[in-house]
Amino acid sequence: MPDAIRKALASLRWQGRNLPWLGLAALVVIIDLASKAWISNSFFYGQRLEVLPVFDLVLLHNTGAAFSFLASAGGWQRVFFIGIGLVACLFLWGWLNQRQDSEKLLALALALILGGALGNLHDRILHGYVVDFLAFHWNHNYFPAFNLADSAITVGAGLILWLTLFGKKEKTG
């Protein structure tokens, strides 16, 4: 087996130090799935409820990716996005395992992204689409609807971007 593959597989071993972060990821999944179940059982498809002048709840099903990318691709995208989701979750798990114990903000970011990815992966596997229900708008211009998993992914990605731009740099030399 090539050394790179052996090293990648070794990074996926269980590490008890990550239990709190995996607990956070699990909490994100639970809250995400509970919110999707509530909206799915309370609304009919396409039903819109104005909560604020700039925010609605609406039940939508997204068979594509962000901004409904590839939503009308004919069905092959389901397997494609499930595959990407599985690879992403394994990558996030490996990254979480390889970080230093002192990198708590990175662990937080990875846990949020992992939880969000697992929540949306659950939907894709079970339903073939992701349940979206949060819709922001200004006048009649709507931002694409999203869900709590998407929000966790966005916050986690924002934290990683923050760390990349403004985090402490390790001293070399």
Task: Give the amino acid at 13.
Answer: R
For residues 95-101, give the mean pLDDT: 90
pLDDT of 130-146, one tens digit each?
999 999 999 888 888 99
Mean confidence (pLDDT) of the chain = 85
Q: Catalytic: 150?
A: yes
Task: Give the amino acid at 2.
Answer: P
Range in 11-15, 54-58, 59-63, 84-88 the model is least confident about: 11-15
For residues 61 and 78, the answer to whether their CB atoms sit within 8 Å is no
E strand or H helix at 59, and its extent? strand 55-62
For residues 73-99, give the mean pLDDT: 81
Task: Give the global pTM.
Answer: 0.84
Of 32, 56, 123, 150, which one is the catalytic site residue? 150
Whole-number Å distance between alpha carbons of 96 and 89: 10
Q: Catalytic: 3?
A: no
Token pair for residue 73? 């691709």
Q: Predicted confidence band at 7 (pLDDT cuts at 50, 70, 90)? A: low
Higher pLDDT, 98 or 157: 157
For residues 43-49, give the mean pLDDT: 95
Within 10 angstroms of residue 106's Cβ, the number of other Cβ atoms is: 20
Angle between helix 76-98 and 104-127 (nearest 10)? 160
Residue 173 is predicted with a pLDDT of 44
Whole-number Å distance between alpha carbons of 82 and 146: 18
- Residue 21 pLDDT greater than 80, yes or no: yes
E strand or H helix at 110, and its extent? helix 104-127
Burial of 144 (0-12, 13-18, 19+ CB in 10 A): middle
- Residue 67 pLDDT greater than 60, yes or no: no
Which residues have CB under 8 Å from 142's CB, separation 6+?
135, 136
Of 32, 56, 123, 132, which one is the catalytic site residue? 132
- Residue 73 pLDDT greater than 80, yes or no: no
pLDDT of 150-161, one tens digit each?
999 999 999 999
